[in-house]
Structures are given as C-alpha cells and as structure tokens.
Amino acid sequence: MRSVHAKRRLASVLIPILGVTSSGVALAAESAAKAAEPSSAQQSQQFLDGIAAVVNQKVITLQQVNAEARLAQDQLQRQKIPVPDHAVLQKQVLQRMITEEVERQEAERLGIRVHVALVDRSGNTLAYLRMAEAFLHSESIAVDKAYTAASFGFPTGQWLEVIGDNPRLHAGLTTRPRLVVLGGGLPILVEGRCIGGVGVSGGSEEQDEACARAALAALGLNSAE
C-alpha cells in the first residue's frame, strides 16, 4: 500500500500548474518552459497534431503526449496501480516530458550527454531518459543516484561530508550496493517530506547536479523545500 501511495503522491507532483482544456493538454507551467515561436515546419506539425507545450523552441505535440500516456496506462495496469482519468494522466505525462526536455537542454548547454532517472520513495524507477552517445556505465549510476537520494532524503553530493573522517562509515557505506556518494542525485521534497529522487550521470558532479536541479525546477520544486 505504501508503494502505491508513494507512486500516487509522486505522480501528483508531475501535474503542471496550468490545467487542461476539454480538447486536450494546454500550456505548460512557465517555470518549466519559455514560450517561443515555432518554425514553419513546427507550425505545420502544430496544425496536424496540436501543441501541448513549447520548451524554448522544442515543440511537444498532443499526439506525442497521447502516445506516452497510452504507454504509461499500460505500465500502471501491469503493476496493478489505479490509473487516473485521461485528463490527469495527460497532464502527468506532459510534465514528465517537459522535465526530460529541460534536462536534455541543460545537458546540451553544458556540452554533456547524460542519463536521467526519476524514482519514487521506494526506489522504483518511474521515468528514465538517455541522451544519444551518453556513457553506457552512466545508466546504472544515474538510477542509483536517484535511489540513494530517495532513500536518505539528502543530495548524494553531501555524502563525503556526512562520512567525514569516520573510517567505519567510509568502509561500510561506500561499499554498499546502489549507494552512490557522487554528486548528481537529489531528493524530491514536498512539504518537507521526501517522495522520490532524481539522478543524473554523464558529466562532472557539478554538471550532473545542475541538470538534476533543472529537472526539479521544471516541476516547480527544489531539493531543500
């Protein structure tokens, strides 16, 4: 029951601040994306599909959102998790897509290729993004950064401060499976309560954490609410 509740709580965070129209998803939250005029090719796609959101100059179409929503619905049904109504699911999926796009753009701005993972409070992976040409080994590191941040409720980059000069902590914790002490993993906090984590791997610790913070900003959150 806790796992289902945690997933529902985390999913609710993914709902954009702005709502949906009766015909589909409207605009995304301003904190997640800055509106820009689409190119002529994008305008043609807009006419065919309808625009769900614009993240800088990247258009996310309603058709893309609906395709991802169908995949999400299938996954929830397989895991025997209650499926929200279609409008709510659309909004959750759209915010996830906006978050992934914001992270991708931040990584491109920094000149890096990253893996990004989003987990719930129980460490279950809810969303995952891999940029082309990202390091293969960074895949599991990103997931485990998110897992570690969700488990302990503070950024993974703070672990060396926590361990300090204690040899027992250093020997005992740094050898634990899935516990990552590298920066780039941030907890997701709502009203002071940890409900999940986001992990990024592929750049330096500072770059990974910058991408993770961009993801939280796209959700209207931070790691120290």
Q: Could you read off the pLDDT of 168-196 as tens digits, one per residue?
A: 888 888 788 999 999 999 999 888 889 89
- Cα–Cα distance for residue pair 185/187, rounded to 1 Å: 7
pTM above 0.75, yes or no: no
Q: Is 126 helix (H, G, I), strand (E, B) or coil?
A: strand
Show the tokens assigned to 50. Answer: 């309808």
Give residues with Cβ within 8 angstroms of 17, minimum separation 6. Answer: 29, 31, 220
Minimal CA–CA distance to 75: which of 59, 51, 92?
92
Looking at the DSSP bridge assignments, the partners of residue 119 are 125, 197
Give 111-144 pLDDT, tens digit per residue. 889 999 989 899 998 888 888 889 999 999 999 9
Strands 185-190 and 125-130: unpaired
- How many residues are present in the chain? 225
Q: What's the pLDDT band for 66 if we cut at 50, 70, 90?
A: confident
Give 71-110 pLDDT, tens digit per residue. 888 888 887 888 888 888 888 888 778 877 877 888 888 8
Question: Which DSSP string corresponds to 161-176?
Answer: HHHTT-HHHHHHHTTS
Q: Could you state, in order of their start, the residue ranges of all structural domains in the chain?
A: 2-218
SS3 content of the chain, % helix, strand, coil (to 5): 50, 20, 35
- Cα–Cα distance for residue pair 13/19, rounded to 1 Å: 13
Task: Return the pLDDT at 174.
Answer: 76
Task: Return the pLDDT at 25.
Answer: 27
- Phi-psi group of 187: left, alpha or beta (phi > 0 → left; psi -120 to 50 → alpha; rest → beta): beta
Give 136-147 pLDDT, tens digit per residue. 999 999 999 999
Provide the mean pLDDT of the chain: 76
Could you please state the CATH topology (level 3) that the domain comprising 2-218 is classified under. Answer: Beta-Lactamase (3.30.450)
